[in-house]
Amino acid sequence: MKASIAIIGGTGVYDPSMLNDPRDVKVETPYGTVSVKVGSYAGRDIVFMNRHEEGHSVPPHLVNYRANILALKRLGVRQIIATAAVGSLNESMGTNSLVVIDQFLDFTKARPSTFFEGGAAGVIHTDVTHPYCGRIRQAMLEAAKAEQLSAHDGGVYVCTDGPRFETPAEIRMYKLLGGDLVGMTSVPEAVLAREAEMCYATVCMVTNFAAGISPQVLTHMEVLDAMKANIENIKRMTMRTIAM
Ligand code: HPA
């Protein structure tokens, strides 16, 4: 089986039912075994990967990013459409906004984040001037328009290790540094996809204003509820992107 496109479903996006005839496939990699669903849509073979696995059981700092990206590569995937739930630092990107991010700030500190660790893999410094693929970003923006959804073109994603949410002081710092959104998964996922020479882009769904901006303390339930309320929009945008 060779599939050219994959969807990596983030928090709240667990349902591969948008694919026709989804079937379970397991892929072995040197980093571990990965389970995905493979089905079809718009005449193409599509891989669906649930980033946090069955029942949201894997927290963001323990996602096996290297195994996931390598598994997709081995399935023949060349383009990846990822979704991510995020908090917002930017008043113009309110709850329920869709943002097709174009940059990140990496504040992770405890994750394996490269395929290139010397030895046979070599020592390679990957260019990340454009960390998210322009072609998929454009298709996502056009898909949003075609679905009459409004999506922000560009945004700076601050990636933290989690799984805790941030302190208000951290959020003030990220804002000063130019961050628009905060989440826990885009790094190293986007970086590994670039290292593997795959075209990768992410649509973010704002589930809350970040700590200290939000009038109340944050809960994971709030994030899940916001995703649930907007899941149809994300699905429509994703599937239209594939069909573009
Ligand atoms: N912080 C980090 N990750 C998140 C948030 C947040 O406020 N909301 C959804 N994912």
Rounded to the nearest whole angstrom, what is the distance from the C-alpha of residue 34 to the centroid of ligand 1? 25
Whole-angstrom distance, CA of residue 203 vs CA of residue 237: 9
Give pLDDT tens digits for 74-103: 999 999 999 999 999 999 999 999 999 999
Instruction: With cut-offs at 50, 70 and 90, classify the pLDDT of residue 186.
Output: very high
**Complex confidence, ipTM:** 0.99
Q: Work out whether the CA dihedral 213, 216, 222, 225 comes out positive or negative.
A: negative
Rounded to the nearest whole angstrom, what is the distance from the C-alpha of residue 232 to the centroid of ligand 1? 20
Candidate of 89, 175, 207, 234 to mutate for ligand 1, largest count of ligand atoms within 8 Å of Cβ: 207
- Under 8 Å between Cβ of 156 and 103: yes
Backbone angles phi and psi of 199, in degrees to 5: -90, 115
Residue 229 neighbours by CB distance under 10 Å: 14
Give pLDDT tens digits for 2-33: 669 999 998 777 777 778 889 999 999 999 99
Ligand 1 atom with the smallest distance to the CA of 210 is 7
Whole-angstrom distance, CA of residue 21 vs CA of residue 52: 22
pLDDT for position 1: 54
Ligand 1 atom with the smallest distance to the CA of 184 is 3
- Closest Cα to atom 10 of ligand 1: 86
Name the token pair of 12: 């709240």
Q: Pairing between strand 79-88 and 5-9?
A: parallel
pTM: 0.95
